[in-house]
C-alpha cells in the first residue's frame, strides 16, 4: 500500500467560539472585540468514520497552525486534531498573553462539553510550547489577577479546565526569553537603528568580533541583550505612567522595535551546537531578517511588550511555568536541527518541569517545520502515538 493510499481521509471543520467580554479599549482592528464580544476561529481536522475520545489541541499565541505538517500528519494518521486561533490570530502587535490563556481555556471547554472528547492533549509547537506550560500552570494553580501592566484580568476566577497531557515540541523557552536572545545589542538608540555600538555589531562587514566567538565575548553580548530588553521595559513603564497621569483618555501607544534577529548562534555553529544549518534561521538569512518586517516584536504596544516580550515581567516564561506543573504527563520532543529553537532551550525546560511523569525524545537532523523530511515527521508522529497509548491518553492505535 502506498503512502497516499494509507493516509486517513479527513475533513476541515470550522470552529467559531464567541463570548461576551467587556474591555476598556479595542486591541485589534475589525469586529473581533470591538462590539463587546470576543470571537475565536479555529479548525477541527476530523477523520472520517473514525470516532475518538481524544483530541490533540494546537494553539499558538498568534499563528494559525492548521496548514502545518505536524497537525495535518496527525490527522493523516487517523487522530482527531483541533487547531485553535487566539483573538490575536496573525497579528501579535497588541497581544496580551493572559488573554490568550483565557482563549485557550475556551477551546478546551468546547472540546469536552460540546464536542464530547474525554481526553484533551495540548500540543505546544514552537511558540505554543510556552503557552501550553503557562496555561496548564494557571489551570492547576491559578494565581494571576492582573497583567504586567497592572490591568485587571483575573485568571483565578476563570475556571480554566486542565489538559490531560502536554506535548512540548520544537518549542522555545518563551517569547520574552527568545526575543531577548535575538535582540541586537549593538543598537544604542531605539529611534535611530543606524546608531550602533561597533563592539556588538556582529553583522557589520567590518565587525570587530567575528566567529568563532570567545566565551567572554558571548557573555558580554548576552548581558547587553538583556540590558536592551530592560531599557525598553523601563521606557514602556514610564510611558504608561505618563499616560495615566495625563488622564486625557489616551491609554495606549504603539512603537517599533528595530533589529530583533541578532544571535551569535546564527553565524557561529560552535555556539550551542546542534545539527542546524549555519548562517540561517527559520525566517531566512539572519542579516536580512534582523531588520525585516516579520521580526519578533517588530510592532508592539506598551501593554503587549510587558505581557509577551519583557524579560523580567512576562508571566509566560517557560521554565517558571514548567516548575508549577505537577498534574499531567509531559512529552518533550526536540528537533535537533531546529532553525528557530536554540539548543539550550529544551534542556532548560526538561530540568524545570516539576511533573515526575516526563519524557524527552530527540529527533536527529529534524528542522523546525520538517520540510522535505517525511521520514523524520513520521518518526515524530509515531513517537506521539506511542506515548499517548502508554499514558492511556489514546484508547487505541489509529488504523493505518
Is residue 400 pLDDT above 70, yes or no?
Answer: no
Whole-prediction pTM value? Answer: 0.96
Residue whose C-alpha is closest to residue 120's, from 51, 167, 70, 63: 167
Whether the predicted pLDDT of 91 surpasses 80: yes
The H or E element that residue 42 is part of is strand 37-47
Give the sign of the dihedral formed by CA 19, CA 98, CA 132, CA 378: positive
Name the nearest CA neighbour of 87 among 45, 27, 133: 27
**pLDDT over 50 (residue 2):** no
Cα 99 from Cα 59, distance rounded (Å): 13
Mean pLDDT along residues 319-331: 97
- In the chain the first and final C-alpha atoms are separated, in Å, by 10
- Encode 254-271: b = buried (16+ Cβ within 10 Å), e = exposed: ebebbbbbbbbbbbbbeb
CA 318, CA 116: separation in Å to the nearest integer? 30
d(CA 155, CA 139): 9
What's the chain's Rg over C-alpha atoms? Answer: 21
Cell 516564561 identifies what position? Answer: 317
Instruction: Check pLDDT > 60 for residue 105.
Output: yes
Report which secondary-structure segment, H or E, holds 333. strand 330-335
Q: What is the mean pLDDT of residues 140-167?
A: 98
Domains in the chain (CATH in brackets) are 3-174+315-390 (3.40.50.1820), 178-309 (no CATH)
Task: Identify the band that residue 133 occupies on the pLDDT scale cut at 50, 70 and 90.
Answer: very high
Q: How far apart are CA 288 and CA 122, in angstroms?
A: 34
Give the mean model confidence (pLDDT) for residues 68-72.
96
Residue 168 CB contacts under 8 Å (≥ 6 apart), including other chains? 124, 129, 132, 133, 330, 331, 332, 333, 346, 349
In angstroms, the CA 105 to CA 99 distance is: 10
Per DSSP bridges, beta strands 119-125 and 54-59 are parallel
Average pLDDT of 151-158?
A: 97
**Residue 21, pLDDT above cutoff 90:** no
Whether residue 250 is predicted with pLDDT greater than 90 in this model: the reply is yes
- Rounded to whole angstroms, the Cα distance separating 292 from 283 reads 10
Give the pLDDT score at 397. 92
Average of per-residue pLDDT across 137-145 = 98
- What would the mean pLDDT of 315-325 be, rounded to a whole number? 98
What percentage of the chain reaches a pLDDT higher than 90? 92
Q: What is the pLDDT of residue 28?
A: 79
Amino acid at each position: 500500500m502506498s503512502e497516499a493510499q494509507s493516509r486517513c481521509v479527513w475533513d476541515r471543520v470550522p470552529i467559531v467560539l464567541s463570548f461576551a467580554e467587556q474591555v476598556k479599549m479595542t486591541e485589534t482592528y475589525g469586529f473581533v472585540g470591538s462590539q463587546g464580544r470576543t470571537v475565536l476561529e479555529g479548525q477541527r481536522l476530523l477523520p472520517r468514520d473514525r470516532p475518538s475520545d481524544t483530541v490533540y489541541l494546537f494553539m499558538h499565541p498568534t499563528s494559525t497552525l492548521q496548514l502545518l505538517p505536524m497537525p495535518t500528519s496527525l490527522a493523516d494518521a487517523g487522530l482527531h486534531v483541533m487547531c485553535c486561533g487566539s483573538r490575536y490570530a496573525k497579528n501579535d502587535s497588541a497581544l496580551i498573553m493572559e488573554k490568550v490563556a483565557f482563549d485557550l481555556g475556551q477551546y478546551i471547554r468546547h472540546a469536552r462539553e460540546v464536542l464530547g472528547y474525554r481526553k484533551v492533549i495540548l500540543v505546544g509547537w514552537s511558540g505554543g510550547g510556552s503557552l501550553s506550560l503557562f496555561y496548564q500552570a494557571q489551570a492547576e494553580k491559578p494565581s494571576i489577577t492582573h497583567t504586567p501592566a497592572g490591568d485587571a484580568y483575573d485568571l483565578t476566577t476563570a475556571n480554566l479546565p486542565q489538559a490531560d497531557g502536554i506535548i512540548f515540541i520544537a518549542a522555545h523557552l518563551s517569547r520574552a526569553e527568545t526575543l531577548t536572545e535575538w535582540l541586537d545589542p549593538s543598537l544604542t538608540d531605539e529611534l535611530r537603528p543606524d546608531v550602533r555600538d561597533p563592539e556588538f555589531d556582529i553583522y557589520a562587514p567590518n565587525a570587530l568580533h567575528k566567529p568563532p566567538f570567545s566565551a567572554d565575548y558571548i557573555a558580554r553580548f548576552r548581558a547587553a541583550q538583556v540590558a536592551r530588553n530592560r531599557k525598553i521595559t523601563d521606557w514602556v513603564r514610564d510611558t504608561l505612567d505618563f499616560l495615566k497621569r495625563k488622564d486625557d483618555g489616551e491609554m495606549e501607544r504603539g512603537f517599533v522595535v528595530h533589529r530583533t534577529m541578532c544571535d551569535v548562534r546564527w553565524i557561529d555553529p560552535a555556539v550551542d551546537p546542534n545539527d542546524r544549518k549555519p548562517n540561517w534561521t527559520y525566517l531566512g538569512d539572519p542579516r536580512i531578517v534582523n531588520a525585516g518586517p516579520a521580526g519578533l516584536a517588530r510592532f508592539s504596544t506598551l501593554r503587549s511588550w510587558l505581557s509577551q516580550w519583557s524579560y523580567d515581567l512576562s508571566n509566560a516564561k517557560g521554565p517558571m511555568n514548567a516548575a508549577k506543573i505537577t498534574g499531567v504527563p509531559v512529552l518533550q520532543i526536540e528537533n535537533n536541527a531546529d532553525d528557530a529553537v536554540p539548543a539550550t532551550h529544551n534542556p532548560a525546560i526538561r530540568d524545570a518541569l516539576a511533573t515526575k511523569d516526563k519524557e524527552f525524545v530527540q529527533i536527529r537532523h529534524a528542522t523546525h517545520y520538517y520540510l522535505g523530511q517525511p521520514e523524520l515527521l513520521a518518526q515524530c508522529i509515531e513517537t506521539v502515538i506511542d506515548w499517548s497509548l502508554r499514558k492511556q491518553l489514546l484508547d487505541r492505535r489509529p488504523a493505518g
